[in-house]
Amino acid sequence: MNAKQRQKIFTNLQVHNPNPTIELDYTTPFELLIATILSAQATDKGVNKATPNLFKVANTAQTVLNLGEDKLKIYIKTIGLYNTKAKNIIKACELLVEKHNGEVPNSRLELEALPGVGRKTANVILNTIFGEATVAVDTHIFRVANRTGLAPGKNVLQVEKLLLKNIPKKYLLKAHHWLVLHGRYTCIARKPRCQSCVIVDECEYTDKNLD
């Protein structure tokens, strides 16, 4: 895929969705951090069903600690891997209180030091909260990047590095959200909706579903 094709892809995505945003519900950086930790191997929809009740009673690091692990589990038990996630969230909140005055840090190193926070989650926070031009490669973005030819790679880190290199700089800040939404609703895993795809003309996928 050449630079002209990449430019056209993001021009079209911007025209059809000028202000893309994350689909996790949150009102503070801390709430997004917790929601993103919970979203690992779970759907945003499922997380959004659980977090409103949780955030009503605990939406800061200290109030989550006050709630405690057992009560936290009650609020998130509908989410996959909730036992492990509850433990990680409690440990993460302990570190936030001890080292960051309860605030979400704005550096990758400090974010990834929090239990339950890997590179993808850190990138979500850095991009969505702190406006860093980075891309959190999830299953949707990995699929879109490889299928379209935008940034083919064998693992998420390869894809991330290629995306940062290949995406025109003017689109990089919003690219994460465009690609996630495109993979979630159009370039789906089975039977991609090529007939309604706004970037189909630039896509290098050889088995397009245009019927």
Catalytically active residues, by annotation = 120, 138
Distance CA 29, CA 105 (A): 9
**Structure letter (DSSP) for residue 132:** -
- The stretches of 17-115 forming alpha helices (DSSP H) are 29-38, 44-57, 61-67, 69-76, 82-100, 108-112
The neighbour count for residue 22, using CB atoms within 10 Å, is 20
Beta-carbon contacts of 183 under 8 Å, excluding residues fewer than 6 positions away, are: 139, 140, 141, 143, 144
* Local structure of 78: helix, strand or coil: coil
Return the amino acid letter for 22: I
Kind and range of the H or E run holding 209: none
